[in-house]
Amino acid sequence: MINFGDLMEGIGLLISWKMPLAIFSGMLLGLIIGVIPGMTAALGLAIILPLTLSLDALTALILMTSVYTGSLTGGGILAILINTPGTPGAVATTLDGYPMTRKGLHNEALGLQIASSVIGGFLSYLVLLFAIEPMTWLALKFGSSEMLALTIFVIVFIGILQGKYLSRAIFAGVFGILVSNIGTSVSTGVARGTFGFAELEDGVPLIICIIGMFAIPELLSLVNRKSISDEDVQKKHNIQDLFKGIFKAIKKVKIWLTGSIVGIFVGVLPAAGAAIASLSSYSLAKKFSKNKENFGKGEPDGVVAAESANNASEGGSMAILLSLGIPGSASTAVILGGFMLHGLVPGGGLFRDNGPLVYGLIVGNLLQMIFLGFFAAFIAFYVGKIVKVKSYLLVPLLIILMSIGSFAYRNLIFDVYILFIFGIIGWYLKKFDFTPLSFMIGLFLGRQIDEDIERVIILFSDNPLKVFESTITLTITILTILSLIYYFFFKIKNGNKKN
C-alpha cells in the first residue's frame, strides 16, 4: 500500500527548478540517442553518469530515467521512418510502422507511436506507484525453470502467429539462441563459436545485429525506389496528420490497455525486457484482431500494440530494480550504478530508509511521460522529413552513419563486418519465410536460456520431472503443448478442406 506521508514528502522534493531542467535535457538527449542508428540508451546513460555527481540523488535519477524514457520512444521513430529499430524494443514497431511510411502515412504512424508510448509509460508507472509489492512478489516466483518454460512458449507462440511455416519459425528461434551464445560462457569461461576471433569473445553486439537485420535489407530494396514513401502516394508533410495519429491511438483503448498489461508483466521478469514485451503484445493484437490480414501491411493497431508495451515495460523493469536491485537490461544496470554512486542500494531497505525519494522518483517519471508527448512530437515531425529525401542521397548516407555507429560501439572495424553479415542473414530469413522475429527472440534470450538450462540441470539432474512441481512451469508447459495442438489441428483441418 502507498505510504501517503512519504508520497507527499516525495512530491515536495520535486518542487525545484532543477527538476524541469533535468527532465527536459534528459528527454531531449534520450530522443536524439534513439533516432541515431547504433546509439543505445546504455551508452547515453554511461556518458552522463559522471556528470550526476554534482547533483542531488533525486535530480540525478530523474535525469537518468528521462534519458532512458526518451531513448525508448526515439527508437520507435527511427523504426517507423527507415525500418531501423533504434532500440531493441522497437523491433515490433517496424512491422506496421514502416509500411505506413511507405504509404505516405508517416506522420500518422508517428502520432500513433508517440501517443501509445506516453500512455503505456504513464500506466506502467501508475501501476508501479500502487502495486510495487505484488509486482516484486510475481518476479520472485520466476526462477530458472519458469524462465526457460516461458522463453520456449514465447518462441513457439510467436512462430505460430507470425510465420507461414512453424518449423522455419522454430528453426529461426533456435538459430538465434545459438548466435547469442557465441562468446565466453559465463559458467565455464570457455570461448564458444568464436572461430578464433578475439572480437567475438564478449559475444555478438545485440544492437548492431538488430540494425543489420532490419535496416540493411530495406536499404537494398530502397535502391530501386526514388524515396522511402512510394512516389504515387507521397503526401504533404503536415502536423495535422501527426495529431490525427495521436487522437486515433487514444481511441484504441482495448489495444493500448492490453499492450500496457503485457508490457508491465514482461518488464517485471528478469532479462525479458522491452523487446519481448512489444513482440508479445504485437502477436496478441494480431491474434485477436478482426483485421489480422492487414498486420504487416500498415495496420495502426500493430503500432499501438507494440509501442504501448514497449514503454510500459519500463515501469515493470523499474519495479524489479527498485525492490530487488536486479537490472533487467544494460540501461537499468547503468541506472543501478547511478543509485550506488549516490550511496543508495536498491532493495527492501531503499523503501524503508528513503521512502520519499522512491515516491519522488516514481511521480517524477509520471511527469516525464507528460513532457514526453510534447518533445517527441516536435522531434518526430522534423525528423519525419527524411521520407522525402531522394534514395540516391539517403541510402549511402545511412549506410555511412550505420557503419560509423557500429564502429563507435566498441571502436572495432570488426563490428562493421557484423553489421553487413547480419544484413545478409536478415535478407535471407525474410525472403524464405524464416520469421526474423523468432530469430530476434532467440537472440535476445539465448544467453539467459543457456544459464537457465545449466541451473535446471544442476538442480534437477537426479529427477527431471521435479521441474514440473512448480505450478508456473507446469502451466506454461501445458500452454505450449496446447498451442502446438491448436496449430496442427487447424493445419490438418484446412488441408482437408482444400483437398
- Give SS3 for 191: strand
The pTM for the full model equals: 0.74
The rounded distance, in Å, linking the Cα atoms of 302 and 294 is: 9
How far apart CA 68 and CA 63 sit, in angstroms, is 9
Sign of CA dihedral 287, 290, 294, 299: negative
Structure confidence at residue 232 (pLDDT)? 47
Question: Long-range CB contacts (< 8 A, 24+ apart) of 164-170?
Answer: 164/433, 165/433, 166/487, 168/432, 168/433, 168/434, 168/435, 169/434, 169/435, 169/438, 170/438
| The predicted structure's pLDDT at residue 347 | 67
**Per-residue pLDDT, 478:** 92
The cell numbers describing 442, all together, are 532467440
**Structural contact between residues 83 and 214, judged by C-beta atoms closer than 8 angstroms:** yes
Measured distance CA(112)–CA(114) in Å, rounded: 6
Residues 448-462: tens digit of each pLDDT? 788 888 888 888 777
pLDDT for 330 equals 66
Q: CA 185, CA 178: separation in Å to the nearest integer?
A: 12
CA angle, corner 100, sides to 211 and 69, nearest 5? Answer: 55
CB 260 within 8 A of CB 309: yes
CA distance 493 to 484: 14
The confidence score (pLDDT) of residue 256 equals 92
Q: pLDDT of 26-63, one tens digit each?
A: 888 888 877 776 566 777 787 788 788 888 888 999 99
Q: Taking the alpha carbons of 269, 273, 276, 277 in that order, is the dihedral positive or negative?
A: positive
CA distance 420 to 11: 49
What SS3 state is found at 351?
A: helix
CA–CA gap between residue 10 and residue 14 (Å, rounded): 7
Residue among 287, 295, 255, 262 nearest 487 (CA): 287
- What pLDDT, on a 0 to 100 scale, did the predictor assign at position 339? 84
Nearest to 128 by CA among 362, 368, 369: 362
Task: Give the model's pLDDT for residue 119.
Answer: 92
Give me the tens of pLDDT residue by residue for the chain, a chain 499 residues long: 677 787 788 888 888 888 888 888 888 888 887 777 656 677 778 778 878 888 888 899 999 989 888 887 888 888 888 887 777 778 888 888 888 888 888 888 889 999 998 999 899 888 888 877 676 666 667 777 887 887 788 777 777 765 567 778 788 888 888 988 898 887 778 888 888 888 888 888 877 887 788 778 877 777 776 766 554 444 555 678 888 888 999 999 999 999 999 888 887 776 566 777 888 888 888 888 888 788 888 889 999 999 999 888 887 778 777 876 667 666 777 788 888 888 887 766 777 778 788 888 888 888 888 888 888 888 777 776 766 677 778 788 888 888 887 888 788 899 999 989 988 888 888 788 776 777 877 887 788 788 888 888 888 777 778 888 888 889 989 988 988 888 788 777 766 555 5
Give, rounded to a whole angstrom, the gap between the first and last alpha carbons of the chain: 60
Q: Which residues contact 307 (CB under 8 A, 6 or more apart)?
A: 73, 76, 93, 112, 113, 116, 117, 120, 259, 278
Return all residues near 257 (Cβ < 8 A) that are at least 6 apart: 123
Cα 214–260–362 angle (5° rounding)? 110
CA angle 235, 239, 244 (to 5 degrees): 90
